[in-house]
Structure 1
Amino acid sequence: MKILISGTAGTGGWPAPDCGCASCARVTPGRRPVSVVLDVPAASDNPATPGGPVAPDGPVAPDGLARLPLSGSLPPGYHASVGPDGLTVTTPGGRRVLHAISPSHGEPPDGEPSGDGRGLPAEDTGGGAGEAVDLVLLDVLDRPERLGDLRRRGLVGERTHVVAVGADHRVPTEAELARRAALWGVRVVPDGTVVDTGEPPPARVPPPRRTLLLGGSRSGKSAEAELRLAAEPEVLYVATGPSGDGDPEWLRRVRAHRDRRPAHWRTVESVDLAGLLRSADTPLLIDGLGTWVAAVFDECDAWPGDDGSTREDGNGRDGRDGRDGRDAVAARCDDLVAAWRQTRVRVVAVSDEVGLGVVPGTAGGRVFRDALGRLNQRLALESEEVALVVAGRLLPLPV
């Protein structure tokens, strides 16, 4: 089956009419609102670039074929149904195309048995597993985690073509759209592209096994880490910080992180990072190393007095300055680095870049900064990819 994708943008196009945002000012030559024709005959292909883009003034697909977005009735032999995943169209030849429309673009809410208001039957899959479809048209800028869920349930397989549609000024540039799509294994095609589902989709570039993302407070580092793994079918989110009990402001932060995670991700609260790295069989997202170091300092009773002097430890013993505890912290860091080096699963870790501010005014602050800074350096040395996130912008740190 050949599909002509003559438009790939959102309903307003990209650039959007009369929009003054930076994204719309940058994009060129621009994209037309999404428009797709199924089962395009060979005569409608551009012979100069088979399987590639068709010029806007080039061949026009004939009438009488199924088109998306769906309006009116389908030609004879086609079948359409709606469900939690969007609109599925089955061609006379048995090929299936899923237009993964988000709820904000007209998808019926989960659990609603009715169709979409045009008399289309509702799917009875209930969001469960199924046979892989041939083509998915997906607005990846809306909820990329939907692709991970489709993969998890088998609706997107190795031979499924996944094409980005709905592109618009939610992303700053075409280059950033392409970067995100590459992370998720999604094709970004120009308007006028013909996709042949009889051919295998382009091979996905293997992602780096170990990624370390550094940044300051509110830099966007956690959101970037989640974006890296959004399209994975299985992810274990490792939260190393406190749960927020007794601290309403921290609890709000924890809840905000939880609410934006994909529903099918698993979450564990643990400081046994070395053990998880050695035993995990699904990708890991560790957020983050700063709270892990702080927790390990607590466990090892490694904090000095505020002025670096001796202090009373938690058991009432005098004369300690936390040095023995800091030796234990160093051993825990050694074990973490060794597990990071040996891990066989994909892992993305978030850490605080603590070396850009003023020198901490307390001995505890200084030893924490030094310990985390050394750990960041060691993990970076053992990582295929390291990047700094500043004001939401990604700055790769090459070796």
Structure 2
Amino acid sequence: MKVLISGTASAAGWPAPGCGCASCARVPRGRSRTSVRLDAPGVPPGGPVPHLPPGDPGPCLTPDRPVPHVTPVPRVGPVPRVPSGVTVPHGDLPSSGFVVLPPSGGSLPPGYQARSGPDGLTVTTPDGLRILYAAALPALPFPYATTGPAEEPDMVLVDVLDRPERLGDLRRRGLVGERTHVVAVDVDHRVPTEAELARRTALWGVRTVPDGTVIDLRDPPPTPPLLPRRTLLLGGSRSGKSAEAELRLAAEPDVLYVATGPSGEGDPEWSRRVRAHRDRRPAHWGTAETTDLAGVLRSATSPLLIDGLGTWITAVFDECGAWSGGEGLDAVAARCDELVAAWRQTRVRVVAVSDEVGLGVVPHTSSGRMFRDALGRLNQRLSMESEDVGLVVAGRLLGPI
């Protein structure tokens, strides 16, 4: 069965009419609101496909987050006109009618089944193929089944800019596998550029396609790019390096977040920082609070996010009594050697965050200089053992470096 993805943007499109943001100003080719049409074998072509009144945003996810405008089911008709400026190779479009997904009213043609649940709307075609529109849909105005076991769909249409962790949860529960076509929809100016959209979706194993793309579900999905096993992200204070690290692993089914800093007990300001990080992470991620990074790297069976090396080396200085120098510094060096060796041999994907200490002023205390030198040397060594190293400045990734 073939699927025509005639639109891929959110309700307002990209660029959004009248929007003066930088993203809308530099998008190279416009995208229209999400509209996905399924080949309906055996359904004869009909008349024109009706649409909702112009300007009607359709039903809403939340008062301020509209569902993309779609044609209600049943909307069966000839192959729709592809948006201007989009070229579809001749012969790729099926000649039979279409059923439009997701629906907003009406009933399904014979042989089609639909199930609305917490993961979104699943439509099953007469030949048994399943397409999941992964969105929290409002109550639908016609009887859709809401029971029955969830099965792995053949295609998932997902707004990964909203919640990429939703895709990770689907993978964790076995609803997205290697043969699932995963396509980004509802894209818009929440991402600064098309290039950044492509970068993120590549990290998440999601396909980004232009409007007018036809996908044959009988074909296997493209092989995802090979992702780096070891990634080191550097940046200054409040640079956005932790958010970038979380973004890297957001669509993974299982992640262990390794927190190396103090819990914040007795320090309200630090507690707020810790809580903000915790609230930002997907609920299905695990958490380990430890300074035994070498042990975690050796025993890990799922991807790791280590945040971060600056607080880790601070704790190691405390544990080794190294702030006054002497033998304590030798103990710190030994712990760093152990960490580098484990990092070099790890078999899981790992993203680590560290402070770039080489851009500031020279610390005026000897302990400050010792800390700076130890962390700077550790950053250099881990960088040399990493497939991917990036510098984050003012929320933007500069790199790889």
TM bin (shorter chain): 0.7 to 0.9
Give the deviation of 1:164 after TM superposition.
Answer: 0.4
C-alpha contact 1:243 1:251 (8 A) present in aligned 2:
yes
Counterpart of 1:119 in structure 2: which amino acid?
Answer: P
**Cα distance in 2 between the residues matched to 1:20 and 1:40:** 40
**Cα distance in 2 between the residues matched to 1:187 and 1:116:** 28
**Cα distance in 1 between the residues matched to 2:91 and 2:201:** 27
The residue correspondences of 1:212-361 to structure 2 (distance < 5 A) are 212-304=232-324, 322-361=325-364
The residue correspondences of 1:150-229 to structure 2 (distance < 5 A) are 150-229=170-249
Counterpart of 2:384 in structure 1: which amino acid?
Answer: L
Counterpart of 2:26 in structure 1: which amino acid?
Answer: R
Picking from 386, 391, 394, the partner of 2:394 is 391
* SS of equivalent to 1:344: coil
**Cα distance in 1 between the residues matched to 2:141 and 2:366:** 66
TM-score (norm 2): 0.86
Say if 1:77 and 1:54 are closer, same or farther in 2 by CA, change over 3 A. Answer: farther
**Cα distance in 1 between the residues matched to 2:41 and 2:184:** 23
Give the deviation of 1:152 after TM superposition.
Answer: 0.9
Q: Does 1:120 align with 2:154?
A: no
Picking from 371, 374, 378, the partner of 1:371 is 374
Count the aligned residue pairs.
361
The residue correspondences of 1:43-192 to structure 2 (distance < 5 A) are 54-55=87-88, 65-72=98-105, 73-101=107-135, 103=136, 107=137, 115-125=139-149, 130-192=150-212
Give the deviation of 1:59 after TM superposition.
Answer: 9.1
C-alpha contact 1:83 1:124 (8 A) present in aligned 2:
no
C-alpha contact 1:64 1:75 (8 A) present in aligned 2:
no
Give the deviation of 1:121 after TM superposition.
Answer: 2.5
* SS of equivalent to 1:228: helix
CA deviation vs aligned residue, 1:192-250 (integer Å, no higher than 9, x gap): 00011100000011110100000011111001101111111111110000001000110
C-alpha contact 2:154 2:217 (8 A) present in aligned 1:
yes
RMSD in angstroms over aligned alpha carbons? 2.2
Moved more, 291-300 or 360-369: 360-369
CA deviation vs aligned residue, 1:325-365 (integer Å, no higher than 9, x gap): 11100000000000000111110000000111111122111
Structure 1 gaps of 5+ residues are 47-52, 109-114, 305-321
**Cα distance in 1 between the residues matched to 2:218 and 2:79:** 15
